[in-house]
Amino acid sequence: MDCIFCKIVSNEIPSVKVYEDDRVFAFMDINPLNDGHILIIPKAHAATIYEITEADFLAVTSATHKLAAAVKKALNPDGINLMQLNGRAANQVVPHLHIHIVPRWSGDGLTICKWEMVAGDIEKVKAVAEQIQTVLK
């Protein structure tokens, strides 16, 4: 497999490891958006949320919870961004599921996600909700 994150997990490529358990590996992003930028990945390859097993996703989110608390205690940021991108349209660069923890400080200049709050068409919102609910049944 030619997945850079799988190569990191197998120690073919060096990383600055922060955390590891039987299902999860977490390491510092080498292109950090801010100090303390961490990536949390499943050890088993899954390109996106659509491919990952529920057990592996739960392990990744549990580790994210633990690491977010550690970042808060160690760095005392004013906030954090958690990001999990799926597919090129969502700006996913590495096709291996990962969650970013990005510590944030007031005035840090980052504009990770910005949109205007504009009310949607409530009938369309309801119709889309019904489409999703139908699939869940």
Q: For 76-89, how does the pLDDT look when each residue is reduced to its tens digit (9 = 90+)?
A: 999 999 999 999 99
One-letter amino acid at 94 equals: V
pTM for the model: 0.90
Residue 121 confidence (pLDDT) above 90: no
| pLDDT tens-digit series, residues 92-109 | 999 999 999 999 999 999
What SS3 class is residue 28?
strand
| Res. 125 pLDDT band, cuts 50 70 90 | confident
Confidence (pLDDT) at 96:
98
| Helices within the chain (DSSP H only) | 4-9, 54-75, 122-136
| Res. 51 pLDDT band, cuts 50 70 90 | very high
Confidence (pLDDT) at 111:
84
Q: Is 37 a catalytic residue?
A: no
We report the CATH number of the domain holding residue 50 as 3.30.428.10
Confidence (pLDDT) at 98:
98
| Res. 52 pLDDT band, cuts 50 70 90 | very high
As a whole number of angstroms, the distance between CA 58 and CA 44 comes to 13
- The total of structural domains in the chain comes to 1
Residue 47 confidence (pLDDT) above 80: yes
Beta-carbon contacts of residue 8 (< 8 Å; ≥ 6 apart): 14, 15, 25, 27, 41
Q: Residue 26's domain spans which residues?
A: 4-136
Q: Of the residues 37, 96, 98, 100, which is catalytic? A: 98
